Amino acid sequence: MRFYLILIFLLAFALSYAQRSSPDQFETAKGILSVQPILHGTFVFTWDGKTVYVDPYGGAKAFEGIAPADLILITDIHGDHMSLETLEALETSKSIIIAPAAVTEKLPEALKKKAVSLANGEKTEKLDMTIGAIPMYNLPEDPESRHTKGRGNGYVIDLGGKHVYISGDTEDIPEMRTLKNIDIAFVCMNLPYTMDIDQATSAVLDFKPKVVYPYHYRGQGGLADIEAFKAQLNKKNNKIEVRLRNWYPTY
């Protein structure tokens, strides 16, 4: 009887996040970089014994089976990036939070004590990673836009010689198009908040990452056509690897 109870428990635990994509792995000069899509604009990567959460969202259940974060990166103030409900539900006793000032000033005091504010153009060194903040904003620049220049951060992270770009909520801005030597890119594409797949394709063709993940692709009209993004990108440059993963599991 005990065996069957354990089996039922393990099966239920597995099914609780069975729809989650399996993590991808990349070689670096200092071990394996593992990338785990979670939900929408949220993912986790592990490297050199450290666990990094990017824009944690979806509640604690979305992170079942994943180690607590050593580092948390937050890109912007909107609830699918700065989810206070999720942050307060997670184990963050040993976490460092890196975010733009617009985010850190909104954090409750307990989380604010863990936070480092990083502005566009600034860099910091944490846990053997170099983390640079770059702009993310809507075009044309407009004080009334959903994402104004200077408020939020995209990030470029150097870890073990690999350069990882996280777009945050942005359109195909010059700061994205002129990126160099990006190994792995996470590029948003949802209307009306960021950009369509044509804009995303054009920008990715300019900065030529080795691998690109379409992510954050749920908009007002449903999910963006990431298969079409992959097809039109690879029609013009088949050397860029497009990885399509399940960013919208049911938890």
What local confidence, expressed as pLDDT, does residue 250 receive?
83
Residue 4 lies in a domain: no
Residue 188 lies in a domain: yes
Structure tokens at 31: 């071990």
CATH number at residue 236: 3.60.15.10
Distance of CA 32 to CAs 72, 148, 155, 241, Å? 19, 36, 20, 19
Residue 248 lies in a domain: no
Residue 250 lies in a domain: no
Residue 249 lies in a domain: no
Residue 203 lies in a domain: yes
At which residue do the structure tokens 């298969």 appear? 227
* Amino acid of residue 200: A
Asked whether residue 13 carries a pLDDT value surpassing 70, the answer given is no
Residue 101 lies in a domain: yes
Domain count, the chain: 1
Residue 166's domain spans which residues? 24-242
Q: What is the pTM of this model?
A: 0.92
Full DSSP string of 84-125: HHHHHHS--TT-EEEE-HHHHTTS-HHHHTTEEE--TT-EEE
Asked whether residue 71 carries a pLDDT value surpassing 80, the answer given is yes
The residue length of the chain stands at: 251
> For 209-228, how does the pLDDT look when each residue is reduced to its tens digit (9 = 90+)?
999 999 999 999 999 999 99
> What is the helix (H) or strand (E) element at residue 147, kind and residue range?
none
In this prediction, residue 6 has a pLDDT band, given cuts at 50, 70 and 90, of: very low
Residue 66 lies in a domain: yes
Q: What is the mean pLDDT of the chain?
A: 92
